[in-house]
């Protein structure tokens, strides 16, 4: 007969994790890879394991890592807090926001949260006593390469007798992404677990989550496979596989009623890019039908080009150019800066990737079409694709992101709220 504590713990773990839970706490491996789609609860699983392992191993500390430091407070920090609370251990841990950390009161062991923006800080990192026994790479596909991760581990895993390293991620769409290639390599101290929402109790996720998943399944099966099942659906490094050439008539454009406009500034080397589009929220289709794409274009000339066609229309522009925005406003354009924040590029790209279709009239917008179909993920020094977006040949793409800025921000907040709930 199972103990009450054992039954309560099982109620926090979805069935796909039963076996790997035993393997973690029996220390059968060192490296535990958690791949999964949306709602698979993989991050929740790790956030339960770390406090439990900390208590069982009084000389160990834990370090939770993300590639960008300013994403920690709204992602892994509340996730670990959820894990501690769910285990009924909130009265046994002190928590701090500055610095971000949890402290096990009985022993002084800590759970640290570090960003990898400055790797030198991690290389000089030392716990107050004992050693770092647990490391969690959340969204590990955002790191540059396995070499970068190994370098970080060499700095952190010192002086101990046993270690647990966790990697959690949604598999990138590209088959050739370094993470998708890495998990194919069999190693004796490594295990890969793949999970999806399908094995999670429905009441954990809620009926609305299930309805959204089924809606996408019926609408765009490949996208459903990638987002919800965590499957690799891409064949190479292309960022966008939902772009389609279309011929739009003047009558169709005239009838558009959900119009959006964006500007990415440029001058001597980079072109200025202005794009006009229609967003069909119901079907999640984007129609791009006009562009201005030109080097050495003065703001006064740009205003004269835009005003006759789109007088009074709200335009979102790169907020890094407040002087140009103010000047264009003086010339009579209704223009504001697009709000930016941590991972704004990543969220914007994900928003565009998640659309059902991006229809581009190639005859009307040849430069925009070329950017979208040729844009590829960055490549590391080993020639492997990584989950990062090169800042080149993307001027029209950026203008489209800015045009959809408020919609992207709403989606980002929705995702962040789900993350804080442990989904």
The catalytic residues are 139
- Residues 166 and 48: beta-carbon distance below 8 Å: no
Cα distances from 5 to residues 12, 92, 385, in angstroms, run 11, 17, 44
**Tokens representing residue 273 in the block:** 């890019």
Q: Where are the beta strands (DSSP E) in 97-224?
A: 101-104, 110-115, 131-138, 164-169, 190-195
- Residues 232 and 174: beta-carbon distance below 8 Å: yes
Quick check: bond before 99 cis, omega within 30? yes
Q: What is the 3-state secondary structure (H, E, C) of 230-284?
A: CCCCECCCECCCCEEECCCCHHHHHHCCCEEEEEECCCCCCCEEEEEEEEECCCC
H helices, E strands: number in the chain: 17, 15
- Residues 193 and 16: beta-carbon distance below 8 Å: yes
- Residues 9-45: b if buried by 16+ CB within 10 A, e if exposed: beebbbebbeebbeebeeeebbbbbbbbbbbbbbbbb
**Tokens representing residue 400 in the block:** 């489209």
């Amino acid at each position: 007969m199972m103990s009450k504590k054992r039954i309560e713990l099982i109620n926090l773990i979805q069935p796909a994790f039963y076996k790997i839970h035993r393997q973690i706490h029996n220390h059968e491996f060192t490296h535990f890879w958690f791949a999964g789609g949306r709602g698979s609860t993989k991050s929740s699983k790790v956030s339960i394991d770390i406090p439990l392992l900390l208590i069982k191993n009084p000389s160990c500390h834990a370090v939770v890592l993300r590639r960008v430091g300013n994403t920690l407070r709204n992602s892994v920090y509340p996730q670990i807090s959820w894990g501690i609370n769910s285990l009924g251990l909130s009265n046994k841990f002190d928590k701090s926001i500055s610095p971000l950390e949890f402290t096990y009161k009985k022993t002084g062991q800590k759970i640290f949260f570090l960003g990898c923006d400055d790797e030198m800080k991690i290389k000089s990192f030392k716990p107050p006593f004992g050693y770092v026994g647990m490391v969690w790479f959340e969204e590990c596909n955002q790191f540059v390469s396995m070499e970068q991760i190994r370098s970080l581990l060499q700095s952190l895993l010192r002086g101990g007798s046993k270690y647990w390293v966790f990697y959690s991620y949604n598999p990138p769409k590209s088959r050739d992404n370094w993470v998708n290639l890495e998990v194919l390599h069999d190693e004796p101290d490594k295990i890969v677990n793949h999970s999806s929402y399908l094995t999670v109790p429905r009441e954990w996720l809620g009926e609305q989550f299930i309805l959204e998943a089924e809606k996408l399944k019926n609408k765009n099966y490949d996208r459903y496979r990638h987002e919800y099942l965590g499957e690799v659906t891409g064949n190479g490094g292309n960022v966008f596989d939902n772009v389609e050439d279309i011929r739009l008539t003047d009558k169709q454009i005239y009838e558009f009623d959900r119009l959006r406009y964006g500007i990415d500034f440029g001058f001597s080397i980079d072109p200025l890019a202005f794009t006009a589009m229609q967003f069909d929220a119901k079907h999640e289709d984007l129609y791009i039908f006009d562009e201005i794409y030109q080097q050495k274009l003065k703001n006064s000339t740009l205003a004269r080009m835009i005003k006759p066609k789109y007088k009074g229309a709200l335009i979102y522009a790169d907020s890094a150019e407040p002087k140009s925005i103010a000047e264009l406003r003086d010339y009579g354009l209704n223009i504001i800066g697009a709000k930016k924040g941590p991972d704004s590029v990543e969220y914007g790209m994900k928003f565009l990737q998640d659309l059902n279709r991006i229809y581009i009239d190639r005859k009307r917008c040849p430069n925009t079409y070329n950017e979208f179909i040729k844009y590829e993920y960055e490549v590391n020094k080993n020639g492997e694709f990584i989950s990062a977006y090169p800042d080149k040949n993307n001027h029209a793409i950026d203008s489209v992101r800015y045009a959809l800025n408020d919609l992207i921000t709403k989606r980002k907040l929705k995702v962040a709220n789900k993350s804080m709930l442990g989904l």
